[in-house]
Amino acid sequence: MVRTIAAASAARRYGNLEMIINFFCLSITATYEHRLTRSLFIHVDTHLEASLMGFFMHVHKAPILRITPHRPKPIESDRSAEKSIVHLFEHILRRCSTIQQAKETHTQIVITRSDQYAYLAARLIVVYAQFGCLADAKMAFQGIPVEHKSNLLLWNSMLRANQSYGYFAESLRLYLQMRTLGIMPDEFTFPLVVRTCASMGNWDMCKLVHVHVLVSGFQFRVHVANELIGMFGKLGYMDHARKVFDRMQFRSCISWNSLISGFSKNYDLEGTINTFKWMELEGMEPNLVAWTSLLSAHARCGKCEDVLRLFCEMRLKRNGATAEAVAVALSVCADFYMIYEGIVIHGYVVTGGFQDYMFVNNSLICMYGKNGNIDDSSSLFRQMKTKNLITWNSLISSFSEAGLCDEAFEAFLQLEKLGDSMLQPNVITWTTVI
């Protein structure tokens, strides 16, 4: 040990910081004696933290992250030395800009035995999820010893990672595992789980999680209640959504939007209008999201003239519109053959900067196609850099409705020739061609 400290001291005198870091890592991995760790900290100068980052990243020639050097306070205990290491790794993980950097940092975390810290593992999960590496995130989660898995931040990070990438069944499995281990969810866990249940459409699990929320006493937390309203609305249980809303002690703008959206999705025009007006009476000015839901409700119920009137009113009162609202207005113009109004809205698409929204362009293709303006429909299709199956279906449908069967079949053959697994003809495509 004395030789190691002496070697580190010599390395410092000659300015070889990389060698110091090697001795530093060796002291943790080989002996992990806290007195040695503490001694090495004493011998390392203020540039150690910056050099650590370069040392971690030099193997694969990855870009070196710039971190602000900072001199740690004199370490009075072994525990504070460990905390300094964890803090350093956490800071480095926040600055990782590539998956390669994240994995190299993870390797150093394992080497220095810092992977036992749940907080550091949670940060690793977040970083891996940002790069879409769910397998690596799962590995970091499973690497935590059982005795350290009571940290809620760790579970919430893993739940969020799975939920955000659509792995709802795995997210739900994790939640049930949490409960089995006796780990109680908090106000950040429940919104993730509620959203997962809504996405899966599992009514039994929705009811169970709602009971868990009530028993845990989180039903009055605004963001938890908002998710419950959204969940019940998505599954069509607006009476449950309304009960949650009525019992809220404080309502945010999202609370009102969730209820209005629920009524709109369930074709309840009266409920949508009444809630929208109620929101105004309560002194809450409806935002663009609420206006879009109001437009959608009228469109679903076939109130085409009201949709266009409300669309103009929305633009005047809110000084703008959402891309979703534009698409709703265009769909009405398509369904009710209102070519002039559609052309006016197309002008707003250009001036409002909505040309890059794929679903807006799809609506334009459909609108021109249904109104028999095939040239504009085809021109818009050719101008689109990225196309999805709805884009192709809109073009094929435009040719078909105009009686151009050869052109429709030719577009169908072009779609098949692409060989893209994400652009396989579906029932709508086949029905349109036939």
Q: Are 430 and 400 in contact (CB under 8 A)?
A: no
Angle at 298 between CA 295 and CA 302, to 5 degrees: 135
Mean predicted confidence (pLDDT) in 353-374 = 94
What is the pLDDT at residue 110? 85
What is the pLDDT of the chain when averaged over all its residues? Answer: 82
Q: Are 227 and 185 in contact (CB under 8 A)?
A: no
Kindly state the tokens that stand for 240: 């449950």
What is the pLDDT at residue 237? 96
The answer, yes or no, to whether residue 26 has pLDDT greater than 80, is no
What is the pLDDT at residue 115? 75
The answer, yes or no, to whether residue 163 has pLDDT greater than 60, is yes
Q: Are 318 and 288 in contact (CB under 8 A)?
A: yes
What is the pLDDT at residue 24? 43
pTM over 0.85: no
pLDDT digits (tens, 9 = 90+) for 42-95: 333 344 444 444 444 443 344 434 434 444 444 444 566 567 777 888 888 888
Residues of the chain with pLDDT > 90: what percent?
A: 55
What is the pLDDT at residue 73? 46
Mean predicted confidence (pLDDT) in 165-192 = 93
Least confident stretch, 33-47, 173-187, 215-229, 352-366:
33-47
What is the pLDDT at residue 144? 81
Least confident stretch, 80-94, 107-121, 164-178, 301-315:
80-94
pLDDT digits (tens, 9 = 90+) for 86-125: 788 888 888 888 999 888 888 888 888 887 788 888 899 9
What is the pLDDT at residue 81? 57
| Residue 285 buriedness (CB in 10 A; 0-12 / 13-18 / 19+) | exposed
What is the pLDDT at residue 14? 40
Mean predicted confidence (pLDDT) in 205-218 = 94
pLDDT digits (tens, 9 = 90+) for 402-427: 888 889 899 889 988 888 778 888 88
The answer, yes or no, to whether residue 130 has pLDDT greater than 80, is yes
What is the pLDDT at residue 318? 81
Which residues touch 411 (CB under 8 Å, ≥6 apart)? 392, 395, 396, 399
Going by C-alpha positions, the residue among 269, 317, 310 that lies closest to residue 292 is 310
What is the pLDDT at residue 205? 92
The answer, yes or no, to whether residue 341 has pLDDT greater than 70, is yes
Q: How far apart are CA 121 and CA 109, in angstroms?
A: 9
The answer, yes or no, to whether residue 338 has pLDDT greater than 80, is yes
What is the pLDDT at residue 61? 42
The answer, yes or no, to whether residue 255 has pLDDT greater than 90, is yes
What is the pLDDT at residue 82? 65
